[in-house]
Amino acid sequence: MKYDLPDELIVECDGPVRTLILNRPDELNAVNERLHWGLAQVWRQLAMDAEARVVIVTGAGRAFSAGGDLDWITSFLEDPVARDESVREGAQIVEEMLRFPLPVIAAVNGAAVGLGCSVAVLSDIVLISERGSLTDPHVAVGLVAGDGGAALWPLLTPIMRSREFLFTGDRIDAVTAVELGLASRVVAADDLLAEARRLADRLAGQPVEALRGTKRVVNMYLSQALSGPLQAGFAAEVVSMQTVEHRERLLALRRKTSSR
C-alpha cells in the first residue's frame, strides 16, 4: 500500500508489521505543521492497509518527540485560523488513535514531550528506553493540557500523582513512568527496537479477530471516559492560547532556545 504522508512521517513496511517513524531528528522530532497533519491522517491509512497487523511508533534519532515546534506554535499568536486548525487536528489525532483497530506499540527511544507524550501514552503497549522520559509541559507555558494529558492520565495513574506532574510539567523518567502506569516496561536502549519488533511479531501471530475485538472492548472504556474531558480540555486549551500569560511565556521560551 502507498501512504500519502509528508516526509516528516515515515511508514516502514516489513511483513505484517508497520513501523511509524516521527522523522525530524535534527529538531528532536518536534511537531511542526506537516508532522501534525501527518499524525492526524496516518491512522486511517494504516487501518486500510490490508496486510498490516501491528504498528510500532517511534522517533528518528535520539528523541521520541520534543513536543510542539516553537516556531509553529508561536505563529498561532498572530494566526487564530491556524491555531484553531491545530486544535481540530489535535483532537483528530487522539480520536483516531482511540478507534484504531490494530495494536500499537510505542518504542519511546528518548524524550516524549507534549503531544509526543500523548501519542506514546495513547498506544496500547509502551516500551520505554532507560534513556526515555515523559513530560507534559503545557501548564508551564500557560496552556491547559488539553491534547490528552489532563483527560487521559487520570485513567492510567492515580489522580493524586497525575496532578503533580501535570501542574508542574516535571519530567518523568522511565522507571517512574512504569511505576505510575504511563508505560509498560523499561527496556535497555540498545534493545528497544528489537524488543518492540519481537513483541510486534508475537502479536501479529495472534488470531486477528480475537486481538482486534479485545482491543476494541478495552478502548471502549477509554473512549467513554474521555468523551467529556477531551472536549472540555481542547476548549479550555483554546481559551488559554489567547491569554497574556501564554504569550509572554511562549515568547520567553522561544528567546531562550534561540539564544542557545
Q: Dihedral, CA atoms, 210, 212, 217, 222, nearest 10 degrees?
A: 150
Running along the chain, 260 residues long, what does each successive block of 10 average in pLDDT?
Answer: 95 98 98 98 98 98 96 95 95 94 98 97 98 96 88 91 94 98 98 98 98 95 87 92 95 85
In a domain, 201, yes or no: no
In a domain, 141, yes or no: yes
In a domain, 231, yes or no: no
State which H helix or E strand residue 135 sits in. Answer: strand 133-135
The pLDDT, as a whole number, for residue 33 is 97
In a domain, 250, yes or no: no
The pLDDT, as a whole number, for residue 258 is 81
Domain that holds residue 43: 9-191
In degrees, rounded to 5, the angle at the alpha carbon of residue 35 between the alpha carbons of residues 15 and 115 is 100
Per-residue pLDDT reduced to its tens digit, 154-163: 999 999 999 9
The pLDDT, as a whole number, for residue 230 is 87
Looking at the structure of the chain, the number of domains it has is: 1
The pLDDT, as a whole number, for residue 225 is 87
The verdict on pTM exceeding 0.85 is: yes
- d(C-alpha 238, C-alpha 243), whole Å: 9
In a domain, 72, yes or no: yes
In a domain, 200, yes or no: no
CATH number at residue 49: 3.90.226.10
- d(C-alpha 138, C-alpha 169), whole Å: 7
- d(C-alpha 142, C-alpha 203), whole Å: 41
In a domain, 103, yes or no: yes
For helices 149-156 and 159-168, the axis angle rounded to 10 degrees is: 150
- d(C-alpha 224, C-alpha 22), whole Å: 29
